Amino acid sequence: MSFHPVAWGVIIGTFLSRTGFFMTLPFLGIYLGKVKGIDPAIVGSILALSLLVGTISSFAGGALSDRLGRYPVMITAMGAWSIVLIGYVFATETWMFFVLSACNGLFRNVFEPTARALLADVTPDDQRASVFNARYFAINLGGAIGPLIGLQLGAGSTSLLPFVVTAIIFAVYAAVLVVFMVMFKEQLKKDMAADPVTMNQMARIVFTDKVFLYLLLGNLFVAGAYSHLDTTLSQYIGHDRTEAYSFLFVVNTISVLALQYPLAKFMKRYSSMTALKLGCLLFGLGLFGFGLFTNLFWLSVSMVVFTIGEILCFVVGDILIGEIAPQHLRGAYYGASGFAFLGQSVCAWIGGVLLQVLGFGQGPLIFAILMLLTFIALPFYQRGQYLWEQRQQQRKSCEKSSQVMI
């Protein structure tokens, strides 16, 4: 694959940084509870703060990259994130972990939309699907390898080595980004807007873009569907069949790695919005299967269906944002897309309430409700597709008119 050198740098850096991330952060709750002796409710609050701050700061991070440039924002965020990881080594008081958790969410969600915008910047339209597929593959490969390395280094125990190793990985990535910034300085100048847009103007443009808003509203419910993998499903199956849940998680990881590229080739025949609608449909059907079946084979089939929905929605969603957003506002658009993850918090809470009210014996009913919640995304995607096709037709008409005048 002949991607731009910067794209390869971001993809490889994504793999290394996600490996480091999954070496430490998934075990943070265990570390805080068992090693530091912090009350479970407070541990939950510490971890939730990271998600909340990250969601709120996502738009600001992406928008800043449109004004200041991708590299300065990415380098600062990754360098600061490295310092946060070192902070966990020296933290002793509960309030320190609250501060570190907030900073962790802040710098991660400033970095992520900026990196996605940079990928879109340096990649031609016809290669964008391939480059975002490669990025998603790198994320999942890091997610598969990271926890295994973390366990070997003693993550979740008294060992502080995972935090140190992850901090070093992040610092090296920041240094590599500095090198790229120097090497591709001229291209950076070309990509920067001649007249930078203010933050207020960015917010007004982004949040009045009806195509993007319908996409964002649909993504709220799709992100909520994905949240059930770690929350509702883990409680429903994991409460009496821990081994089965662990096996399903492995099926999810293997399915992502095995199916991502075949699906990418298949979906090139269809529009991005069509792929999103299909992904949403499969998300919901996979969820319903979790409640309908008890046999491990059919649960695994449901997980494969769920995972295909995950691949379609998340990869295609990133590609579509790159198509919708004006080049000088890509960071703001990718940042604003982070608001969809509010759906994760709300839907995870709904899943917990359904389990508590209806009971664990009502799996088919519970997951049927969750499936229907997921399907609420479909009319938003349908409306967004209609408006997006109208916009594309208008652009083609304008281009033809310009050619005739010339």
pLDDT in tens, 96-116: 999 999 999 899 888 988 898
Residues 6+ apart with CB under 8 A from 28: 47, 88
The encoded tokens of residue 125 equal 């339209």
Going by pLDDT thresholds of 50, 70 and 90, the confidence category of residue 54 is: confident
- Determine what percent of the chain is predicted with pLDDT higher than 90: 29
Going by pLDDT thresholds of 50, 70 and 90, the confidence category of residue 334 is: confident
Q: Are 207 and 213 in contact (CB under 8 A)?
A: yes
Is the pLDDT reported for residue 232 higher than 70? yes
The DSSP secondary-structure symbol of 329 reads G
Q: Which residue from 22, 26, 372, 52 is spatially nearest to 230, judged by alpha carbons?
A: 26
Separation CA 77–CA 104 (nearest Å) = 10
Q: Are 275 and 284 in contact (CB under 8 A)?
A: no
Separation CA 165–CA 88 (nearest Å) = 12
Going by pLDDT thresholds of 50, 70 and 90, the confidence category of residue 239 is: low
Residues 6+ apart with CB under 8 A from 20: 142, 146, 165, 166, 169, 170
Going by pLDDT thresholds of 50, 70 and 90, the confidence category of residue 322 is: confident
Separation CA 204–CA 141 (nearest Å) = 37
Q: What is the pLDDT of residues 166-201, one digit of tens each?
A: 999 999 999 999 998 888 765 555 555 555 666 677
Residue spans per domain, the chain: 1-192, 208-386
> What architecture does CATH give domain 208-386?
Up-down Bundle (1.20)
Q: Tell me what pLDDT residue 30 has.
A: 76
Sign for the CA dihedral angle at 197, 198, 203, 208 comes to negative
Q: Which residue from 250, 253, 233 is spatially nearest to 241, judged by alpha carbons?
A: 233
Sign for the CA dihedral angle at 387, 389, 395, 401 comes to negative
Lowest mean pLDDT, pick from 124-128, 243-247, 279-283, 331-335: 243-247
Q: Tell me what pLDDT residue 100 has.
A: 94
Q: Tell me what pLDDT residue 47 has.
A: 79
Q: What is the pLDDT of residues 8-24, one digit of tens each?
A: 989 998 898 888 888 88
Q: Do 1-192 and 208-386 agree at the fold level?
A: yes
Residues 6+ apart with CB under 8 A from 205: 197, 326, 329, 332
Q: Tell me what pLDDT residue 403 has.
A: 60
Is the pLDDT reported for residue 312 higher than 60? yes
Between vectors from CA 81 to CA 11 and to CA 64, what angle results, nearest 5°? 75
Write the DSSP assignment of 330-365 as a string of letters.
HHHHHHHGGGGGHHHHHHHHHHHHHHHHH-GGGHHH
Is the pLDDT reported for residue 202 higher than 80? no
Q: Which residue from 9, 24, 14, 249 is spatially nearest to 146, judged by alpha carbons?
A: 24
The DSSP secondary-structure symbol of 192 reads S
Rounded mean pLDDT of the chain?
85
Going by pLDDT thresholds of 50, 70 and 90, the confidence category of residue 382 is: very high
Determine the average pLDDT of the residues in 307-334. 86
Determine the average pLDDT of the residues in 61-90. 90
- Predicted TM-score (pTM) of this structure: 0.79
The encoded tokens of residue 110 equal 């400033």
Going by pLDDT thresholds of 50, 70 and 90, the confidence category of residue 402 is: low
> What architecture does CATH give domain 1-192?
Up-down Bundle (1.20)
Determine the average pLDDT of the residues in 255-284. 87
Going by pLDDT thresholds of 50, 70 and 90, the confidence category of residue 31 is: confident
Please give the residue that has the higher pLDDT: either 280 or 203.
Answer: 280
* Side chain identity at residue 55, one-letter code: T
Q: Are 145 and 253 in contact (CB under 8 A)?
A: no
Q: Tell me what pLDDT residue 42 has.
A: 83
Is the pLDDT reported for residue 318 higher than 80? yes
Q: Tell me what pLDDT residue 347 has.
A: 83
Integer CA distances (angstroms), 267 to 18, 225, 275, 342, 374, in order = 26, 21, 7, 28, 21
The encoded tokens of residue 53 equal 């701050």
Going by pLDDT thresholds of 50, 70 and 90, the confidence category of residue 404 is: low
